[in-house]
Amino acid sequence: MKRIERRRKLHCCLAIVMLMLCPLGGCAKKIPHFLAPEYEKRGVRLIAILPVANQSNNAEAAALFRDKVLEAVYFRGYPKIPPKTIDEKLSPFFSDYRRPTPDAVPPRQVGDLLGVDAVLYVTLKECDTSFLLLYASTGVTATFDLRSAKTNESIWSVKHSLTERNFEITRDRLRMKSCQVFEPVMEEIIAKAVETLPLGPDA
């Protein structure tokens, strides 16, 4: 009887602990981000995703990153606007179009030219690998800033970083392995970031 009673107490304790941890786990899923009050009342449907401002040493990463952001935003319920359409309409008006910022390529002007509700500025701050003997560290850091095309204000923003570490028995194998991790790390960063963006009207 004593053993049964102890087991019951233990099960009760475990159940209480799990109930206490569940809310914490739910809160921990989403990364820190900013969201403007009453976002859902702002009528954001069409989002123009501008070229990724690349501050990293990886020259080819920006285009791939933009395509993946476009897909992620689309699956949150926002219609796709082809990058080619955006580029053709905006590039004649802005000299810094390939490295856009809200100051250099103002959201209101983008909204007037494209008829969108918001403009997404993405910056790839880091997308590099450092090597030390047979050890490699691949880091990717990106920021996302969604601006209203009516007011220019930021209505959603987030910054996220990930680091992937690898060891190998030869330098060549290490380089190959490091190249292979870039895309999965990008995808994870984008997934975590866009998860904090409220669902769009087509979700």
53-91 pLDDT tens trace:
999 988 889 999 999 999 999 999 999 999 999 999 999
**How far apart (Å, rounded) are the C-alpha atoms in residues 161 and 125?**
9
Query: What percent of the chain stands above pLDDT 90?
Result: 62
Q: Assign 32 a pLDDT band (cuts: 50, 70, 90).
A: very high
Residue 1 pLDDT > 80 = no
Same domain, 39 and 115: yes
Q: Is residue 202 part of a domain?
A: no
Residue 87: inside a domain: yes
Q: 181 with 99, same domain?
A: yes
The total domain count for the chain is 2
Do 99 and 186 belong to one domain?
yes
Kindly state whether residues 8 and 81 are assigned to the same domain: no
From residue 150, give the alpha-carbon distance in Å to each of 11, 75, 87: 56, 24, 20
Predicted confidence (pLDDT) at residue 3 exceeds the cutoff of 50 = no
Residue 4 to residue 81: CA distance in whole angstroms? 63
In a domain, 118, yes or no: yes
Considering the domain architecture, whether residues 90 and 49 belong to the same structural domain is answered as yes
Residues 24 and 43 in one domain: no
- Is the per-residue pLDDT at 13 higher than 50? no
Instruction: Give pLDDT, residue 178.
Output: 65
Same domain flag for 112 and 15: no
If we measure between CA atoms, which residue out of 87, 119, 115, 92 comes closest to residue 103? 119
- Sorting pLDDT into bands at 50, 70 and 90, what band is 153? very high
The pLDDT score that the predictor gives to residue 115 is 97
Q: What is the pLDDT of residue 59?
A: 84
Same domain? For 24 and 53 the reply is no
CATH code assigned at 163: 3.40.50.10610
Decide if 203 is inside a domain. Answer: no
Residues 55 and 87 in one domain: yes
SS3 label, residue 80: coil
* Mean predicted confidence (pLDDT) in 32-48: 95
Domain limits for position 128: 33-194
* Same-domain pairing of 62 and 19: no
**Domain shared by 172 and 73, yes or no:** yes
Supply the pLDDT for residue 174: 64
Same domain, 23 and 75: no
Q: In which band, very low, low, confident or very high, does the pLDDT at 164 lie, cut at 50, 70 and 90?
A: confident
Residue 171: band (very low, low, confident or very high) from pLDDT cuts 50, 70, 90: low
CA torsion sign for 95, 96, 101, 104 is negative
Answer yes or no: is 200 within a domain: no
Q: Per-residue pLDDT for 201 more than 60?
A: yes
Residue 175 lies in a domain: yes
Instruction: Tell whether pTM > 0.85.
Output: no
Closest C-alpha to 110, from 125, 100, 99? 100
